[in-house]
Chains A and B, each alone.
Chain A
């Protein structure tokens, strides 16, 4: 039998075994081989044709592909500056200063560009903490709205000018003028003051008028009466066991919040639960301020009751007999209790007030004096200069302007047309002043009315000094050459006053002037350094220099009048407050701050009328006038009417509403224009100055719905308690309000939830032992559940090398939001604009969740910074179809942006909802231009402008559209820290790697580190029995640990 294979034949020739066929079949190639030697043969064209096709194809592809690739120029240094190593950051000590806002900082520069603000931890005041405003200040350097050089008014617009021309015009005008006024906010710079003094010396009719956008004039005046110095005392919140604040938002906005927060947190952290002790903090206010939300007890008084509330405490403490008629009974009772607490903590208590009524401030001083707080918790020997404004001066100035007595007015970066109480008056009256000069960097409402703009440098381009507190000096040094043809305001003043001390032939005349000034003042007052150069080098290097401040003036009793705020009788009162992000509009042009969620309301891009909300005793949280979040109302204050959205505010006193200042600017650049409403013209103007409330107010019911209601948190409570209508018993109002649908009466409730969630744990300090036991039990149960499952995990692997983790002390966190801005700055997180936030497209990697708990009417608040938990059994990782989300051997949950195809499965499966998707091309990282969203109708979207893009951190990828991003635990910093340790040949220490949120935090709430480093700071913190892991029972093995939130509420206040 033939073999099978021989049976196979191809065609007849094969079957017949034709010779010719067999010959060909034996060859490897059936056809004839190409003869290369003979190019004329029939196959000769092949190779050439191939090359031709190749050439054409390549050419065509090149032409087609090369058409539209944008050219990005990078120009190398011709002569490389020796301090700049590409890829290595330089840090310079400097100081963030804007009016009275102050923060000693380190400026991180990369390749000569400032890109990030860090706290300067050499400062005894801030200890390295920062504020959101300081963090965001680097972005205002690259503000596209900045003046590019000196300008002259030309019709409605501006025309370019030169400094020579400006100097000539201004000098000539000044020579021929009698009454010159410099209008400024608080000036913290001694050298700037010196320059101003030279100016006023040269022009005899010149006067400096200082005001603060949110006035603390009464506080200063009261201290002048009691101590002979118009200063703010040094408050030592860390030394106080009982803190009583009358409407002073000292953790958020009042005077020096970074310093106060750092000190305050010291008294709130609990390290040893067996001897748990924390300060008592009582806040007397009507609206929920950031400080109030951190308080143990809030005593609700209407804005006009503040005076009698202070008087009540004054009577109780000092035995005075001020009238307290009009104070509500509940507050009266509570204040008596507070008085008893204060008396028991003599010398260890602190009473502060934000009142702008001198009599009330005198009472507060008297209370503190009687309690023996001066010299203990209040230090007058090193007073603060962070508020210097005088309402009397301001009022006088307005009268002068109205009467036409002022010839020249110079605005030193002040914007009184918007942010003073006299804005509307000034707007018209300024027409009577012929010559108006502004030093503003960016056009504003006031500058727009001026003839001349002599724009000053951004502080990151300037030399300067700051004396925030007596004896506490710090320096401002430039970290980049001026971007535009601007000139420091101090220089302008000195040139206009033809100062002989200013040597204009020097390369940096003001630097020399500053140095000379320090030589004769700070250097002369110290004895640490003998050579000025050594002293100067040290001061510039450290950024700060402290000298002895001298003795405290003693308290002088003065007559306390009866001129306190009269309790109002109107049904509704409105209070105005400053927010962390906006101040009184000074920061409206900064997109980072505009998009930073308000810590309390969690709203962005605008001010929202906070209306009280209460539990109806059945199953609904009822807002004032039945209003719900995002509904539009018509607000009438005096004769001003405005339409604005509301936000239901837990803790807002019934019968009051409140509204943030600083919004509704009309000339604040692309970002700030027409966002929210302005109420600076609705303040109550007393004889002494403005007060931040109004009683002539009414709120309509719903008139519409806000188109873009931008609030990043819709659900506000986690276990608020209310009184059940039927039984009169206390019930969980949250759970009662659970159900949205009512079969018989239709829509109801829906604000509620089941609240026994392993997300937050709270306890009263008195119940701490039980609470900790309960917490431990819950954790044990969760761990038991986790032990039952089959996932083995990779704990062995993570036990080797580094294993990164984080600890967040919720007792230290005050919710100020600094970390959120720091994170945006460090990680190139895009700003998306109001509409995008309104549809929950915000990109924040780090957010601070805010929940209310406890009494529904007057709740306590918990702030929970929430970022990627870097789970070691991460649910986002196993669902990614392309492994774009994966885990490092050091326990980091990593995102490979280039690999991400954007299915968003990971974001769905994240129990903490921290993953952010690039819905549109927020960063111009995409080739298609059509999808870039615009903020406020800018011609180019934010972060698409080359100037703005200078702020980007080159170590962090700018993400394109369609990819997911999230907190990376600042992996670029980890990498840098590891490399530093490696090149220095040592083990990595805690200080090598600190995340942006950690360094920004004013209270030290965040600790990042290596969980395998048994000697590290993190390991120590991880031992606290207060610790818990959010959602521990779902076994995602989070690397972030929180602490139980402890409050020191005295429940007898609620009765």
Chain B
């Protein structure tokens, strides 16, 4: 990284860390016996996951009739959860890919966890298109492969098929990206380990030796993958939005959906990263690596994307009025003031109002508020998908077919179960891999460590002038 550091940048690593300390701090959680908090969390997650698996098996055994969908509302919690989880995954990709290309140093503190989150979220998301099928045992019909049924090919016009490609590509690239980043860190774990553990980590690190060639290839691969995933950040949720945008249902049939969905996805993804990181930094004592600077940066992204989403909501309302088309107009009346008004208001409040708090610097640096709002944002984004999917379907063209919906215990169980899956995976992840990218953190130590930059810097590489005058009183 460039040694040129803007004087107004705050340090991203605090606590006057040496390289060895960084290794100690970040690798040791994988070496110690798990804490009580971890064990409780893990047992809870596995229990919830088990219940989710039971509900999924119940769905497959009994049929989709065990859900409360009906002839009018054929998708609801299933696809809501699908889009929601997919959206959450987006932060990881954005952080790994786009922020890498933009050389944002603060990404190094959160990218590992965010990428892991992406993968687990996509796993949760991918469940829903599968289990929402009436005949999951014929799911292979959706794959384009030469077959003895004709051969009969899938319908390449269908956005659902595009979803299959989009999401499988997304999962593959995200997995590669995440694993690539892990290789040098696994080697670090290996170097400190003994016996079987050493062998396992040796295999996982592909025999990484840390030679200059390795580092060079690793950097190149990271860049190539970043280049590959950058379009994915935009394309995946664009394609997910096509599920709705290409339909004829008023409230779905909207050209604004692709950018609106992408912004919403990044919005919810960052909120989820914040929720997770605020807990993780506390539990694993990583406050020196995931600093308030990181949180503030992410809050800025939340503020931006939340506002984009808000503009999209208002645009929709305007276009509904401006179109003069009765069905479109009614769709929005129904959303905002119909029987599901609470979900629309929930969405508006959580997604549009709540991020506006982050205009104020001290508030976006307030960890408690951030934590609270990050959860609100995710609730809001869930409401958004519910509003788009269920309430739109509930009342469309023919008043005779209007209907209402509330989830069954199975649907709720599956949704809760995906949290079980997500947290089980995440908790295992924090035990087996460094939750902050060790190698990448080290790469910015000299340019963002508090002993080098910022007000408390002891190794002054650059001479700052008067602009720091007032803060010098903080010296100790």
Which residues of A pack against B, CB within 8 Å?
713-715, 717-718, 738-741, 750, 753-754, 756-757, 759, 836, 839-842, 847, 849-851, 864, 866, 875, 878-883, 899-905, 907-909, 911-913, 915-921, 928, 930-931, 933, 960-964, 1030-1031, 1034, 1036
How far, in angstroms, from A97 to B326 measured CA to CA in the complex? 49
- The answer to whether A1031 and B397 have CB atoms under 8 Å apart is yes
Q: Which 7 A-B pairs have the closest CB atoms?
A: A902-B134, A962-B134, A919-B65, A840-B70, A849-B400, A920-B65, A904-B74
Q: With a CB–CB cut-off of 8 A, which chain B residues contact A964?
A: 134
Q: Is the CB of B64 within 8 A of A901?
A: no
Asked if B329 is at the interface of the complex by the 8 Å CB criterion, the answer is yes
Distance A875 CA – B160 CA, assembled complex (angstroms): 14
Interface string of B114-134 (1 = CB under 8 A from A): 000000000000000100111
When the two chains form their complex, are residues B71 and A917 in contact, meaning their CB atoms are under 8 A apart? yes
**How far in angstroms is the closest Cβ of chain A from B294?**
40
Question: Contact: B333 with A911, CB < 8 Å?
Answer: no
The stretch among B219-227, B246-254, B268-276, B434-442 that forms the contact with chain A is B246-254
Q: Which of B37-45, B138-146, B420-428, B445-453 contacts A (4 or more CB under 8 A)?
A: B138-146
A750 to B336, CA, bound (A): 12
Q: Which of B133, B154, B248, B330 has the most CB of A within 10 A?
A: B248
Interface string of B135-161 (1 = CB under 8 A from A): 110110110000000001111011111
Q: B-side binding surface: helix, strand, loop or mixed?
A: loop
Residues of A within 8 A of B354 (CB): none
Residues in A neighbouring B333, C-beta threshold 8 A: 738-739, 754
B158–A901 touching, CB < 8 Å? no
Our pick among B138, B152, B246, B327 for the contact of A901 (Cβ within 8 Å) is B138
Nearest CB of A to B314, in Å: 19
Given A849-B398, A902-B134, A904-B134: A931 in contact with B63 (beta carbons within 8 A): yes
Interface residues of B (CB under 8 A from A): 61-65, 68-72, 74-75, 129, 132-136, 138-139, 141-142, 152-155, 157-161, 164, 243, 246-249, 326-327, 329-330, 333, 337-339, 341, 393, 395-404
A1034:B134 contact, CB within 8 angstroms? no
Nearest opposing residue in chain B for A838, CB measure:
B70
Q: How far is the CB of A834 from chain B (nearest CB, A)?
A: 14
| Residue on A nearest B155 in the bound complex, by CB | A883
Q: Could you list some 15 contacts between A and B, CB below 8 A? A: A714-B402, A738-B337, A754-B329, A757-B327, A839-B70, A840-B71, A879-B160, A905-B160, A908-B74, A913-B398, A918-B63, A931-B63, A962-B134, A963-B135, A1034-B397
Chain A hits for B164, CB < 8 A: 881
Given A754-B326, A901-B142: A741 and B341 within 8 A (CB)?
yes
Assess the A907–B74 pair: CB atoms within 8 A: yes
Number of A-B residue pairs having CB atoms within 8 Å of each other in the complex: 189
Contact partner of A754 (CB less than 8 A), chosen from B63, B64, B160, B330, is B330
Residues of A within 8 Å of B395, CB to CB, are: 715, 753
> Which of B134, B246, B404 interacts with A714 by CB under 8 Å?
B404
Give bound CA distance, A302 to B135, whole Å. Answer: 54
A911 touches B396 (CB 8 A): yes
The minimal Cβ–Cβ distance linking B255 to chain A, given in whole angstroms, is 14
Residue of B nearest to A602 (CB): B400
Q: B157: which A residues are within 8 A, CB to CB?
A: 878-879
Contact assessment for A715 and B71 in the assembled complex, using a CB-CB cutoff below 8 Å? no
Shortest beta-carbon distance from A708 to chain B in Å: 13
- B326 adjacent to A879 (CB under 8 Å): no
Asked if B248 contacts A1034 (CB within 8 A), the reply is yes
Which chain B residues border A875 with CB–CB below 8 Å?
A: 247-248
Q: Are B337 and A740 in contact (CB under 8 A)?
A: yes
Cβ-defined contact, A912 with B398, below 8 A:
yes
**A849-B398, A904-B134 given; A750·B71 CB < 8 A:** no
Known: A882-B154, A901-B141, A907-B71. A913 touches B396 (CB 8 A): yes
From A750, which residue of chain B is reached at the shortest CB distance? Answer: B339
Q: How far is the CB of B153 from chain A (nearest CB, A)?
A: 8
Least distance between B366 CB and chain A CB atoms (Å): 31
Given contacts A1034-B248, A1036-B248, A842 and B133 within 8 Å (CB-CB): no
Q: Is the CB of A919 within 8 A of B401?
A: no
Other CB < 8 Å A-B pairs besides A908-B393, A909-B248, A964-B134, 19 of them?
A: A740-B339, A759-B399, A842-B71, A849-B401, A851-B399, A879-B160, A880-B160, A882-B154, A883-B154, A900-B134, A900-B135, A903-B132, A904-B69, A905-B75, A908-B249, A917-B71, A918-B63, A931-B61, A961-B134
- Verify B134–A879 contact, CB threshold 8 A: no
- The reply to whether B399 and A757 contact each other, CB–CB distance below 8 Å, is yes
Beyond A741-B337, A753-B330, A757-B326, whether A928 also contacts B132 by CB under 8 A is no
Please, which residues of chain A bring their CB within 8 A of the CB of B396?
911, 913
Q: Which residues of B contact A878 (CB under 8 A)?
A: 155, 157-158, 246
Q: B134's closest neighbor in chain A, by CB?
A: A902
- Which single member of B69, B161, B393 contacts A881 (CB below 8 Å)? B161
User: What residues on B are CB-neighbors of A756 within 8 Å?
Assistant: 326
Q: How far is the CB of A851 from chain B (nearest CB, A)?
A: 7
A579 → B minimal CB distance (Å): 20
Distance to closest chain A CB from B394 (angstroms): 10
- On whether A880 and B158 interact (CB within 8 A), knowing A913-B396, A931-B61, the answer reads yes
- Given that A714-B403, A757-B327, A918-B134 are known contacts, is A909 also in contact with B247, CB under 8 Å in the complex? yes
Q: List residues of chain A with CB within 8 A of the CB of B153.
A: 883
- Distance in angstroms between the alpha carbons of A903 and B64 in the assembled complex: 10
Q: In the bound complex, what is the Cα–Cα distance between A753 and B399 (angstroms)? A: 8
Collect the chain A residues with CB atoms within 8 Å of residue B326's CB. 754, 756-757
A841-B70, A842-B71 as given contacts; A962 in contact with B158, CB under 8 Å: no
State whether A841 and B397 are in contact (beta carbons under 8 Å apart), knowing that A750-B339, A919-B65, A931-B65 are contacts in the complex. Answer: no
